[in-house]
Amino acid sequence: MPFTLHERLAADTLPVVDLDLCRVLLMKDRRYPWLILVPRREGLRDFDEVRPEDKHAFYEEIERVSEILREETAAEKMNVAALGNMVPQLHVHIIARFAHDAAWPGPVWGVGEAEPYGPGEAEALLGRLRERLGN
Amino acid sequence: MPFTLHERLAADTLPVVDLDLCRVLLMKDRRYPWLILVPRREGLRDFDEVRPEDKHAFYEEIERVSEILREETAAEKMNVAALGNMVPQLHVHIIARFAHDAAWPGPVWGVGEAEPYGPGEAEALLGRLRERLGN
């Protein structure tokens, strides 16, 4: 079955790159460097439902994206979460957190309104991420 | 180095069982069936910092605990998250969610006050979890 990104995820993000398993997305919210990984498989909802043959790639990609985002942003803490109460398609949030950010030390969800990136503003981060994650 | 559970985690939870890698804890909050996994290793903060020789157990235990908690509670959605902005010791939240719960569809953190279990109230769930997770 072909993979279709959930419309809410498509609307809220910019595409970064496709890894072997996951599509990597950047949230349109300049308050946090915030990536989302979506396994390109139909019908997954929960974190433990990834198929055995995909598990290695799934965890390796989470680790790699988390490490690279931390390094590129000098984050103080990484948040990794699969919630999916609103968007049922399995997606993993990987968020670089800072003691001065808008939600610290709480979680980022439901805090204020997303602040879109200005023209060209996300390009530097997108470029560095694509360079480091590109297959 | 011996493993010491962070005092905040110790205060907020009841012990369930020790798996090969992780200690499993039950949050003292009857609003949600809410487990926490803590790898019994010193010095870990972020999800991607688990040592290579522990990774298999780490992910396998997350999956197993999530599956069992879903089955035991008939949860509609599982939330899996490593945040750690307040408690730096690496710990993974595994939370059974329901469309009627106190925070749905938002995340559980920072919503209202924890409601402690009454006397004996957590014992049935603890007993079932220990039976299914016991080594």
pLDDT at position B134 is 86
pLDDT at position B114 is 96
DSSP reduced 3-state for B33: coil
Sheet with B22-27, strands from edge to edge, namely: A13-18, A22-27, A34-39, A92-97, A77-82, B77-82, B92-97, B34-39, B22-27, B13-18
Q: Note whether A66 contacts B48, CB cutoff 8 Å.
A: yes
Q: Could you tell me which residues of chain B have a Cβ less than 8 Å from any Cβ in chain A? A: 45-48, 55, 59, 62-64, 66-67, 70, 77-86, 88, 97, 104-107, 109-110
Q: How far is A97 from chain B (nearest CA, A)?
A: 8
| Cα–Cα distance, B77 to B93 (Å, whole number) | 13
Give the mean model confidence (pLDDT) for residues B36-63: 97
Mean residue pLDDT across chain A: 96
A31-70 residue pLDDT tens: 999 999 999 999 999 999 999 999 999 999 999 999 999 9
DSSP reduced 3-state for A56: helix
Q: How far is A77 from chain B (nearest CA, A)?
A: 7
Q: How far is B108 from chain A (nearest CA, A)?
A: 10
Structural contact between residues A69 and A33, judged by C-beta atoms closer than 8 angstroms: yes
Tell me the two tokens of residue B61: 């235990």
DSSP reduced 3-state for A28: coil
Q: Which residues contact A62 (CB under 8 A, 6 or more apart)?
A: A37, A80, A92, A94, B47, B48
Q: Rounded to two decimals, what is the model's pTM?
A: 0.96
- Does the pLDDT of residue A135 top 70, yes or no? no
B53-101 residue pLDDT tens: 999 999 999 999 999 999 999 999 999 999 999 999 999 999 999 999 9
Report all structural domains of chain A as residue ranges with CATH numbers, in order of start: 7-100 (3.30.428.10)
| Interface A-B: count of C-beta contacts within 8 A | 89
| Cα–Cα distance, B126 to B36 (Å, whole number) | 13
Q: Note whether B47 contacts A59, CB cutoff 8 Å.
A: no
pLDDT at position B135 is 54
